Chains A and B, each alone.
Chain A
Amino acid sequence: MSFAQVFKSAPDADGLKGCYRNDALTSLMQHGCNELLAAQSRAEKIEGQVQPTCARELAELAGKGVKPATALADQFCTKELFDGAYTKAVERCDSVELQKLVVEMNFRAARVNASAQTLGIDLDRLSLSVFGNPAYEHFVRELGGFEQVAQEFAMKVGFDMARHQLPALVKESIDAISPETNRIVGSLRAASRNLEMASVKPD
């Protein structure tokens, strides 16, 4: 089994094929890719357009028929070694995912905050009348975007804590949650409680 064969069995766009995660597999390939990019940067200095990126450079290499050195990845390719390396790669990728979600969540909180300020909405006393009022449509949409990322984060934290042995890293991510984010989560909780109370109809 070569690494490329393992990679081929990774899920396609529909997620149907194989059981390996692309992010973990590509992370295992990192060494080969980085070596290629370093070799390319030594060989040629390309003047960039707006924001040239690693992926563009990788695609250029692919266009030239260059492939990453798979030797390092191939050495994992006995069943036992691969499983161990793959599990570590999943853990590593999950930790980065978690950190990205915190950053995205804090950014969404900044958007919610800016939108609330423009419309004169007090985030500490989120009135239910905001929802369903066309004047506050933008704000409600921002709040929805925030909620989505916050839920993804909560799921990921739960998953990571149950599965991995990285308490220090999970804690660092939780500590990075901004006061703004906490404030919005708090006001959403209060609003949801009010909504529950309002929806309880007397017999």
Chain B
Amino acid sequence: VKIEAFVFYRVRGRNGDKVVLALRDSVDASLRFFDHMTAGLEESAVANPDDVLLTLGTAETFWQDAFASAVLNVLLEAHISLDALESVALVDLMRRREVSVANPDAIKSLAQMFVELRKELIKNRAAFWRALTE
């Protein structure tokens, strides 16, 4: 697999499969994987092609798929605004768990899980950096 910037991938993680976004590091033009849009460089990892299980596409091409597009319509109807990476991760999780797109309640509850995860992330990050200087 050739890794490209601005593309989402499903990768093998230390604690299970996850969705990441590849972005370029300005220092040496290498690519790094980010597993959350709020993650800084220090939380990103060098993009390793061996970890890639599936190429998911860009923030544009990913949504041209019929299943992804149907999920997006449910999110729009329910006014759920997950960010670009969370939305791709939601669809990918639904595929892996075989959640039907005809089950809006399941989609909403998974989406809520991503919202909670984001809150927890931000809280944890703040706690870590606070602990650092204490």
Contacts and interface: CB of A to CB of B under 8 A. Distances in A.
Contact of A26 (B81, B85, B129): B129
Interface residues of A, number: 63
B89 interface: yes
B48 interface: no
Q: Which of A103, A106, A118, A142 has the most CB of B within 10 A?
A: A103
Nearest to B19: A51
Interface string A13-40: 0000000001100110110011000000
Contact of B41 (A45, A61, A96): A96
A160 to B, nearest CB: 10
B41 A110 contact: no
Classify the interface of chain A: helix, strand, loop or mixed: helix
A178 to B, nearest CB: 4
Contacts of B129: 7, 22, 26
A55 B125 contact: yes
B72 A110 contact: yes
Contacts of A138: 76-77, 79
B99 interface: no
Interface in B53-110: 58-60, 63, 69, 72-73, 76-77, 79, 81, 83-85, 87, 89
A55 B113 CA distance: 17
Interface string A52-71: 11111011011101011000
A169 B58 contact: no
Most interface-central of A8, A23, A41, A176 (chain B CB within 10 A): A176
Given A53-B35, A104-B84, A109-B60, 20 more contacts: A4-B132, A5-B133, A8-B133, A23-B40, A34-B42, A48-B13, A48-B14, A53-B36, A55-B39, A55-B122, A67-B132, A92-B26, A103-B6, A103-B37, A103-B84, A110-B59, A145-B81, A169-B29, A172-B5, A176-B58
Interface of B: 5-6, 13-16, 18, 21, 23-27, 29, 34-37, 39-43, 58-60, 63, 69, 72-73, 76-77, 79, 81, 83-85, 87, 89, 113, 117, 120-125, 127-133
12 contacts: A26-B41, A26-B42, A27-B40, A48-B16, A55-B43, A55-B128, A62-B130, A62-B132, A96-B23, A96-B26, A104-B84, A176-B5
> 4 closest pairs, A vs B, by CB?
A48-B15, A59-B124, A107-B84, A62-B131
